[in-house]
Structure 1
């Protein structure tokens, strides 16, 4: 998932690593094989391996994670298809190795990856996965926002998710299966509520203040100190030397600090970001009718990403929720207790259970 910092937090899961054993054949609860869940973002890619739990309405607590691996970017729009494929294959292999499992024990894979914006994107990735896994393995490809939603609803597709990390997107599902999204088109097309968008506006404000086009701001000294630069002129070289989204988004904490010090420029940047993020959620809610006919219906809003973390006085996530609930009082914010990669794995598990039930009734 796209965070501006390392912010997986407490996953409320138990990771069990056993060397040299095949979990598909022992008594640890995974005798029916394993499931891989992958959260592939612009900043990093996470893969978890979980056992196939017995079909029931309740999941075990704590949720058993057999293995977990982390690698780099797997967004094909950012690094190209070959590099994205290599990253995904590498992270799956490592998670299986850590779990003591192997490719033959995999029964299902759910890949939630950023950059999947069209059925052709899904089909291209599915074709690649089919080259790796036997035909009996169930394969599911979703946008990474879907995995993030599932991390808050424990694998159920209902409600809305707001992701605000390096990038941002809002994605939702109605109970009848209809889905909608807003934002998520990248910084060039205006994801201004994202970590990248916030930091890019801050860098722009520093340049404008330096050349006389904008007001003076605490952002100048704060950002220069953070980057070990001596002059705003040096920001130009720093920015274009490596214009990666995550590198720029890492400056968000500096913007928040300046806003907490009552800097008007920084405060306006954050207020605008809050409005933009809330607007993306509102657009999805209205298109899907999640709020009901009277506008007061209950629905979950899963909050994911470093920008939304409640660890500062100027709490972006809290302000976004306040803005959403002014229009939709039934919006219920959820901070996931598991990471999006686990959400992807739970999606695959739910899909498997649904198919199993349908086959039993056919």
Structure 2
């Protein structure tokens, strides 16, 4: 029952978004030639087929429909629609995804925090919360994170963190604490600094895994290829710059890697992909 309700709600939400986009553009459904969607969590052909069928029911039969993982449209937003290279997304969650010149695909991370996406916003913040509890228990060193996070949440004691965390353990709610971790690291807190260093290393390793599986770096490891970097964790523009630290590590592994911060939204990447699919 819950699964059916969730799917119905997702479909209704999708239809509403499409209707709003058509109204804003001044076109109607009969004017559309192709639809490309980037959807988080679409990792299996059955997921793709289900959403494609939803979209086909919303449009006339002549409309071509393409459903991709959101990482693919993010890659396209940095390569102007070309599916070659690697994309690293680090926001609430994280994933690395790539294509070689022959269209072979590979991915790393993206399994959620339970399966170890520690470079994500959730992963960073969860480790910070754990550090506060460990310090309070006497199992770990004292950290500036304690006072900073308690103040940000309006709590008076680390004991209250347990109730706050499990009252609504949504990923985005936890990940929203990343700025506090960054500010503590900038102020010299060693625990916070280590959390961010480990996150940068983990994100760079995800890119490394994809690049090596696809051979994007060439036989000698120096070939040029794009690495598109997307997400609030990578583009926060703070003094302690996680994106810059990740880029440095990627370039240590692969001197030919060209890190790119897209100048357009992933939605533009989806539009470029739709155009490319229609013309191919």
Normalised TM-score (structure 2): 0.97
Residue 144 in structure 1 maps to residue 70 in structure 2: yes
Question: In the alignment, does 2:130 pair up with 1:233?
Answer: no
1:27-73 CA-to-partner distances (Å, cap 9, x unmatched) read: xxxxxxxxxxxxxxxxxxxxxxxxxxxxxxxxxxxxxxxxxxxxxxx
Report 1:166-315 matches (<5 A): 166-309=92-235, 311-315=237-241
Rounded to whole Å, the distance in 2 between the matches of 1:310 and 1:223 is 19
Cα distance in 1, alignment partners of residues 242 and 222 from structure 2: 24
- Provide structure 1 residue ranges, at least 5 long, that are not aligned to the other structure: 1-75, 355-362
2:40 counterpart of 1:114: yes
Structure 1 counterpart of 2:85: 159
Q: Distance in 1 between matches of 2:204 and 2:9?
A: 34
Which structure has more helix as a fraction of its residues?
A: 2
- The yes-or-no answer on 1:129 pairing with 2:64 is no
Query: Residues 128-163 of structure 1: CA distance to partner in whole angstroms, max 9, x if unpaired?
Result: 112111221010010000010000001110000000
Q: Corresponding residue for 1:327? A: 253
Residue number in structure 1 paired with 2:265: 339
Q: Secondary structure at the match of 2:262?
A: coil
**Aligned length in residues:** 278
Which 5+ residue runs of structure 2 have no aligned equivalent? none
* Match for residue 84 of structure 1 among 2, 10, 22: 10
Q: Check conservation: 2:29, 2:60, Cα contact below 8 A.
A: no
1:301 alignment partner, SS class: strand
1:245 & 1:251 partners in 2: Cα distance? 11
RMSD of the TM alignment (CA)? Answer: 1.4
Aligned partners of 2:11 and 2:123: how far apart in 1? 27
Misfit runs of 4+, over 4 Å: none
Give the secondary-structure state (helix, strand or coil) at the position aligned to 1:306. coil
Residue 320 (structure 1) shift: 0.5
Q: Quick check: 1:310–1:318 contact (8 Å CA) kept in 2? A: no
Structure 1 length normalisation: TM-score?
Answer: 0.75
